[in-house]
Homo-oligomer: A and B are copies of this chain.
Amino acid sequence: LRKITIQFEPEGRKVVTDPGQKILDIAEESGIGIRSECGGNATCGKCRVVIQDQSRVSELTDPEKKLLSESEISAGYRLACCTTATGDLVVEIPEESRIRVRRIQITGMERPVKLEPLVKKLHMILPTPTLHDIRPDVERLLDALESEYGVAGLELSRRLLSDLPDVLREKKWDVTSVIWNDEKLVAVEPGDTTDTLYGFAVDIGTSKLVGYLVNLQTGETVEIVSVENPQTSHGEDVMTRISYTVEGEKNLLRLQKLVIGAINSLMRQACASAGISTKNIYELTIVGNTAMHHFFLGIQPKYLSYTPYVPAVKRPLNVRASDLNLSVGPEVNVYVLPCVAGFVGADAVGDVIASGICESEERSLLIDVGTNTEVFVGNSEDILSCSCASGPAFEGAHIKYGMKAVTGAIEKIKIDPGSLEVSYKTIDNEPPVGICGSGILDGIAELFRAGVINNRGRFNNIDSPRLIKQNGKKEFVIAWGDETVTGKNITITQGDIGEIQLSKGAIHTGIAITMKRRGYTNKDLDRVYIAGAFGYHIDPLSAKIIGMLPDIPTEKIKFVGNTAVTGAKMCLISKETREKAYELSKKIRYLELAVDPDFQKEFVNSMYIPYKQIEEYPSVMELLSPETKNK
């Protein structure tokens, strides 16, 4: 078969491939991001591309006729998931089809740990073989390691053996050995290379990957890099991606290849900035939620989506870099942090480690808000965890004008209780395009505080020009059409409020039940840690007003940022922390909310704003106007 060349514009990137493949697949194999919320199922219509020469692609399909307008079709628009390339081609990816770069919290709280990385370098000059000393290369090296450094019983791989004879002789028996955990030879390098010893910690987020390049001799983070998770083209959320793996035998491998490609590119980027080679990375540590963990390792993830949602494995894993095609030395160890349960993954273990709730006597609540929100309650004695199905509303999904936290998203909202006038702030102070999670959370809190909505989330009968009707349903205008990019009003609808009630209700239920089972009341809590990218941007008061968080003093709330990656970094530089992570994964108890007898009742109560029993929220009560209280 002849190969064909696809040129992607505006980058001008050329890809040589076999004919007969879908444009979406070709783009993705080459790391070119095209949106595809439905995971290539021809239902979302987001993967629009422009192809001028339609003679070299497959014919228009029914889904395209449905999802594209006639004028678009005549302008050459196609859906990349429906279009097969048959010859050389130029494909234009319009702005709207690109995976947009989001604002994300890449740094996080980090606690000091004893610097004790698992890899170390030992330099030696070996005696040269003679007819009177015919010890083989391996035995010569291992003998010297034992006699000079007391390191014995090292394992050594066939792969390392293969060019060891040349390596040892390259600088006349002057060599540096890289040893992992005093048990395995990771590399042997000619000469003295002991001054270069790095590691790389990665958080594989569902939407973004963050990498820390760390100097293992000082424990210092020398570079922080991040990249969109390219798996996003197969679905924005975990469940869509799991479904994608079920649809085709090779799809899991594709997801794995995508994430590994992203990590390789992160490493290249970080090493280039630091002026070192990726060969100087001698260990990696990885966190991610359980699905990301399974995708990364190429483990069948299907059963994560069926009750009782068991993962394939929870214990920490040590995998060879070459088994994963990571572009570092073949024997480099990849340490994957342990998980707790199907929905409490290695990223959450990172949160626990970095926040330190496991080592303090302080009674703590730790939450990492996302599509699934992980909740931990406890202290050094005992920690109880659960996972709440908080859904994607905070990511802007199912919200009429919802959007991700990108440029132009309304992220802060204030409503004057008297005039009901609205003030807002957008990301990068650009004209508003929509509302992101922290904005919608602010908006609902302010609507409630101003008495525009009641504790069941329904609009009160208020007289305001901002309370308008669309198709017979009430909406509250946050930004008027003349202020927005699209020229249309940006509003919060009754439906939006309902979505947020479901989300915050799920989180509150999880927190309430976990605290109850741990035997804590709100007053007992010494500290609340809010981890994760989303959490970092929310207003704690708004979160309390809507009842997402329990009513505890704001000064006890601490935003800790991306503690998943800092937890991974702590494991990278500290053997002791790694041992703690394993202990934690076994020790943290997991509470299955679905089988808790109080679940239903608690969930119903938690749907109210802030809560059915308002007396549980005394500080919120104080904030409310007398009118609001009576409504």
* Chain A residues close to B by CB (< 8 Å): 129-140, 157-159, 161-166, 169, 297-300, 302-303, 307-315, 317, 319, 323-324, 339, 341-342, 590, 592, 594-595
Contact = CB atoms under 8 A, between A and B. Distances in A.
Given A165-B303, A166-B300, A300-B165, A315 B138 contact: yes
A146 to B, nearest CB: 13
Given A165-B303, A299-B161, A134 B313 contact: no
Nearest to A303: B165
Given A136-B339, A137-B303, 12 more contacts: A129-B308, A131-B307, A131-B595, A134-B308, A134-B342, A138-B312, A158-B299, A161-B299, A162-B298, A164-B312, A165-B300, A166-B302
Contacts of A312: 136-138, 161, 164-165
Contacts of A311: 136-137
Given A129-B308, A139-B313, A300 B164 contact: yes
A467 B299 CA distance: 77
Contacts of A339: 136
Contacts of A297: 158, 161-162
A120 to B, nearest CB: 23
B132 A313 contact: no
23 contacts: A129-B310, A131-B308, A131-B595, A132-B595, A133-B308, A134-B310, A134-B341, A134-B342, A134-B590, A136-B313, A136-B342, A137-B311, A139-B314, A139-B315, A140-B310, A158-B297, A158-B317, A161-B313, A162-B297, A162-B299, A164-B299, A166-B300, A169-B303
Contacts of A161: 297, 299, 312-313, 317
B131 A592 contact: yes
A601 to B, nearest CB: 19
A137 B162 CA distance: 36
A312 to B, nearest CB: 5
Given A131-B308, A131-B592, A300 B162 contact: yes
Contact of A594 (B131, B138, B162, B590): B131
Contacts of A341: 134, 136
Nearest to A341: B134
A165 B290 CA distance: 14
Given A130-B308, A134-B308, A310-B136, A158 B298 contact: yes
Contacts of A136: 310-314, 339, 341-342
A285 B319 CA distance: 25
Contacts of A324: 158
A165 B302 contact: yes
Given A131-B595, A165-B303, A302-B165, A313 B137 contact: yes
A129 to B, nearest CB: 5
Contacts of A130: 308
A159 B298 CA distance: 8
A319 B137 contact: no
A307 B133 CA distance: 11
Nearest to A135: B310
Contacts of A310: 129, 134-137, 140
Contacts of A134: 308-310, 341-342, 590, 592
Contacts of A158: 297-299, 317, 319, 323-324
Contact of A313 (B138, B303, B313, B342): B138
Contacts of A342: 134, 136
Contacts of A592: 131-132, 134
A615 to B, nearest CB: 33
B163 A300 contact: yes
Nearest to A253: B162
A180 to B, nearest CB: 15
Contacts of A157: 323
